[in-house]
Structure 1
Amino acid sequence: MSTRRADDAARNLLASITDGEFPPRAELPPEQQLAERFGVSRLTVREGIRALAGHGVLTVRHGKRSVVNPVEEWSPLDAEVLRARGRLSGNALELPTQLVEARRAIEVEVARLAATRATDEDLSALAGTLTAMEESLADPGPRFAEADLAFHAGVVAAARNVYLAAAYRPLEQVLHVVRLETSRDPQIREHALHWHRRILEALRAHDPDRAAEQMLLHMHQTLEDIAERVGGAAFR
């Protein structure tokens, strides 16, 4: 069985759910019926259902049909599921706000630690990502977003705390999806570059309070940009 076909089956089923065909708490049709509809085997449909169950979208019941879970039970850490969840959310800014809150809780302390632990090699790597951001500033494509994410990952690495790194890791896939969307806006790219420069300056000065402050201000700016310039688009 092809993993790709199972992924496609999960994606098609998720689309049917978000389109309202199978609302929360509704039972799915029998697996054979779904298999015929999607043009795949029953086993492929079953694997797709298991994948969605793993992300909280469905509850698999032994000997009974699977049930669609309420949206608030869906995983916020899978990019496909997150987009689907955003389409069904009554509050377009709820998920982006919560994402920034989670980042703020982790990355402000990460910046504080990185200011005391960053090596010359760490700072050089961060400077390289900043250069990449500068060179791609006029490009609405993925290069700027990739450099942006590499900068934050570099700060996390420089903090040298395995638990904070582990807490940050699940957010990276979601951040990748969101950043690709927000980086299309030239003003948002300018804001990100500005704050990354100030964060790096604080890290080079090995000033933990200043580094934490600059990261916090960066998070505030990020939330403002999402609310004022993007809205919930990155989650739809």
Structure 2
Amino acid sequence: MSEETAPTGITSALRSLTPRTPTARLGVAVVHDLVEAIVKGDVPPGDTLPPEEKLAQHFAVSRTVIRESVKRIEEKGLISVAPGRGTTVQPKTSWNVLDPVVLAVLLENDSSLGVLDEISVIRAALEGSMSAATAQHGTPEQIAQITASLARMEESVEDPEVFPDADLDFHFLVMTLSGNELASSITKILFSRARQSARFVGNQSTDAFHITLEEHRRVHDAIAAGDPVAAEAAMRAHILDAWQRRRFPTARER
């Protein structure tokens, strides 16, 4: 397929991509830019990517680099490659949204905060369940670990450089102690990637840190008391409420 005969959306998408200067990690940049074009809808589901030769010319790389990049994107579920039909963009339901590149690009382009809203709901459900499990099965030694983690949060509540990491450590500890390795792995991927987004960090203040500390204390106390129902409720409420405190209103919501 030539650029002249390609659908308008495809050639527009090709022009929207920023040409890259060749580097040792150019394949990584090509993958990122093509994933971004798909995530942003520049090449919508059902459309095909420009042919290999055109992509190679655009990025000033070999066709081998393009071929390998396309293979990696296919592994992420964003495209399907079929002989005679080209490289077709797949619907979002086929994407591996836990893939680091896909998730990062989704967050980079999350101006509506819809992705972060969904992550908060998922975290609330999974971390709530894991908090309940930790409360139900936690040993005295494990409870002591959580108490020590809460103490580190108390010590750093006035320090915006340290408190967020102490907060993260508390969450990761509760997840690890739950014994639910799959839920813990999924949540840690979402949490760690989301924390790299300025939109996730949002509106922070030491006043908000004190509220967050109190919410963690409720989670700790419920786990220490061996009350899974209260532990789940406390963690779910904390995650959803903390996100609403940090969340900046979008342009549409103003």
SS at match of 1:56: coil
Partners of 1:96 and 1:232 within 8 A in 2 = no
**Identity rate of aligned residues, in percent?**
28
User: Which residue of 57, 66, 71 maps to 1:36?
Assistant: 57
Question: Separation in 1 of the partners of 2:169 and 2:44?
Answer: 38
User: Which residue of 173, 177, 200 maps to 1:158?
Assistant: 177
Q: CA RMSD in A?
A: 3.2
Gaps of 5+ in 1: none
SS at match of 1:230: coil
1:61 and 1:3, CA in 2 relative to 1: closer, same or farther beyond 3 A?
farther
The equivalent residue for 1:113 is 133
Partners of 1:100 and 1:219 within 8 A in 2 = yes
Deviation at 1:199? 0.9
1:16 and 1:214, CA in 2 relative to 1: closer, same or farther beyond 3 A?
closer
Deviation at 1:10? 0.4
Q: Give the count of matched residue pairs.
A: 225
- Structure that is richer in helix per residue: 1
The equivalent residue for 1:99 is 119
Which AA in structure 1 matches 2:236?
L
Gaps of 5+ in 2: 1-22
In the alignment, does 2:197 pair up with 1:178? no
Provide, for residues 10-40 of structure 1, a one-character-per-residue CA deviation record: whole Å limited to 9, x for no partner.
0122234456543332211122322232233
1:46 and 1:214, CA in 2 relative to 1: closer, same or farther beyond 3 A?
same
Which structure exhibits the higher relative contact order, with contacts defined as CA atoms closer than 8 Å and separated by 6 or more residues? Answer: 1
Which AA in structure 1 matches 2:49?
L
SS at match of 2:86: coil
The equivalent residue for 1:147 is 166
The equivalent residue for 2:16 is none
1:18 and 1:101, CA in 2 relative to 1: closer, same or farther beyond 3 A?
closer
Which AA in structure 1 matches 2:115?
L
Partners of 2:107 and 2:194 within 8 A in 1 = no
Question: Separation in 2 of the partners of 1:188 and 1:39?
Answer: 49
Partners of 1:144 and 1:183 within 8 A in 2 = no
- The TM-score normalised by the length of structure 2 is 0.72
